[in-house]
Structure 1
Amino acid sequence: MRWLTVLFSLVGAMVVLGACGAEPAPTTVSPPAAQPPATTTPTMPSTTGGLSPTDAAYAQLAIPQAESALPLLDAVRARSGDPALAELAARAGVGHRGELTRLHGVLTRAGLSYLGEHEGHDMPGMITRDEFQAADRLTGAEFDAEARVLLRKHFEESAAVARAELGAGADAELLALTRDIEESRGDYLSKLSIR
């Protein structure tokens, strides 16, 4: 889970810098000695549109995470010999596409662009092109077994990332979407376990 914290921090910093035109923050000048310094409560810096750096980082990660699963979900829906697995893949594919629309909508509302910096990375929760191609070469029960392994890892890790956002995020719309994502992953995992 430590990698999530580091990732959110790095992407959040990049989003804040990008929103500010990558200019360094101005230095704060101390007030004159005659005036006591003002006391402020530290707050999480925000990006435009109400997204905190954590919110923005989560959206930037959740998009490629969901996109990476689509080729396998589509292949399982079309090729699986297990009707229950094919049905699960069909439902998850529709769900992931809906999540992607909503995630892009959150970024658009905040005036942020999708950076695509995690696409193709071998990160937990992402099904890489190599993993998909290796699974796609299999047939029958072997294909179904490998698809289950990859989908389980994807569902578990995307749920973990969603829980991290739920614990540290701030944007109400994104948090509602994130709750939906976490709940759907739990549902998918429960159905993946039934044979």
Structure 2
Amino acid sequence: MRRLSVLLSLVSLVLVVGACGAEPAPAPTTTAPPPPTTTPTTPSAVGGLSPTDAAYVQLAIPQAESALPLLDAVRARAQDPALAELAARAGVGHRGELTDLHGVLTRAGLTYLGEHEAHDMPGMITRDEYQAADRLTGAEFDAEARVLLRKHFEESVAVARSELEAGTDAGLLALTRDLTESRADYLSKLSIP
């Protein structure tokens, strides 16, 4: 059900971004159309990003941001040193990804809309989930953190797959592949004792 929710949100964002970036039909002309370019473009592209690209960035940013409070808490408080080290690496990685994702929007001349902030969507660690985990200590805190981080990493990979399958921007696709690989690495190290 939550995956359906994220897909519906992604589709609605694609429609909104597509509508915002739609250009009026050109006036009829008697001259021949220009020759095709070697760079594929879509008529609904916005700032060089396809609607899928733009929708993915608008969702990936809050998804990564939602994990930062928990990653910071785990780094500081985890009883398991391996979990604390993983959280430290993931925190640095997420902050780098956020810089890059905002850079994609800037390059395209787009603004981050923040439409999904604080939503309870797959891959997002909600404020309530974070606060519930933060009240725990010791092994209980570590166990709940593992559950939340696993869900976050898995769902962010699922959302990234949509971009990898339908996105068109080469730079964003490379960033998304890196993000997917880092999440797979984090998952492989997220042991459950």
The two structures share one fold, judged by TM-score above 0.5:
yes
Q: Which residue of 2 aligns with 1:159?
A: 157
| Within-5 A mapping of 1:1-195 | 1-19=3-21, 44-193=42-191, 195=193
Q: Which amino acid aligns with 2:124?
A: M
Equivalenced residues, count: 180
Structure 2 gap segments, 5+ residues each: 30-40
C-alpha RMSD over aligned residues: 2.1
2:5–2:121 contact (8 Å) kept in structure 1: no
Which stretch has the larger CA shift, 52-61 or 8-17? 8-17
2:74–2:87 contact (8 Å) kept in structure 1: yes
2:146–2:192 contact (8 Å) kept in structure 1: no
Structure 1 gap segments, 5+ residues each: 32-42
The TM-score normalised by the length of structure 2 is 0.86
The TM-score normalised by the length of structure 1 is 0.85
1:45–1:53 contact (8 Å) kept in structure 2: no
1:14-49 C-alpha deviation (Å, 9 max, x unpaired): 1233345xxxx6579999xxxxxxxxxxx7443333
1:89-114 C-alpha deviation (Å, 9 max, x unpaired): 00000000000000000001001000
* Distance (Å, rounded) in 2 between the aligned partners of 1:2 and 1:71: 26
* Distance (Å, rounded) in 1 between the aligned partners of 2:168 and 2:183: 21
* Distance (Å, rounded) in 2 between the aligned partners of 1:126 and 1:19: 27
**Identity across the alignment (%):** 76
Q: Which amino acid aligns with 2:10?
A: F
* Distance (Å, rounded) in 1 between the aligned partners of 2:124 and 2:157: 12
